Amino acid sequence: MATIEQLSLGVSDAERAARFWAAALDYRRRAPRFDGDEWIVLEPQPGAPGMAVAMDLSESPAQDFPRLHLDLDAGERSLDEELDRLLAHGAQRVDWRHYPTDPHPTEPPYVVLADPEGNRFCVSGRREPPTR
């Protein structure tokens, strides 16, 4: 039975993308598997769960509505805390109206961001109650 080994992101600047995703996920850079390997592959810290993420050079632009994207969970942080952290590392907010015809719009339990390469991803987590 096949298993997913890693997720590969198309990027125009592999070093920039690797710096962002290493900081966002607390991943480390994996050593190249063979001479001439130009991919940058990030992996979880030893003993930590997660899947490897590879940076693959691509000349195609990032998609506004990608068919495949990463969903991140804020974990112990509140959603707002995690958003602040990711934005400080270079993520950008994306205006996302996934269900524009919804007759009863509510605030979704996630926020859509883009990495420095423009690749979209979602972040979910617990929302803090509004302060007065």
Q: Residue 103 pLDDT > 60, yes or no? A: no
Domains identified in the chain and CATH numbers: 6-124 (3.10.180.10)
Tokens of 14: 């592999």
pLDDT for 124 equals: 93
Q: Rounded to an integer, what distance in angstroms lies between the CA atom of residue 112 and that of residue 91?
A: 10
Q: Are 4 and 50 in contact (CB under 8 A)?
A: no
Reported as a pLDDT band with limits 50, 70 and 90, residue 98 is low
Q: Is 116 exposed, middle or buried (0-12, 13-18, 19+ CB in 10 A)?
A: middle
What is the reported pTM?
0.84
Q: Residue 131 pLDDT > 70, yes or no? A: no
Q: Are 56 and 39 in contact (CB under 8 A)?
A: yes
Q: Residue 96 pLDDT > 80, yes or no? A: no
Q: Which residue has the tokens 């810290």?
A: 45
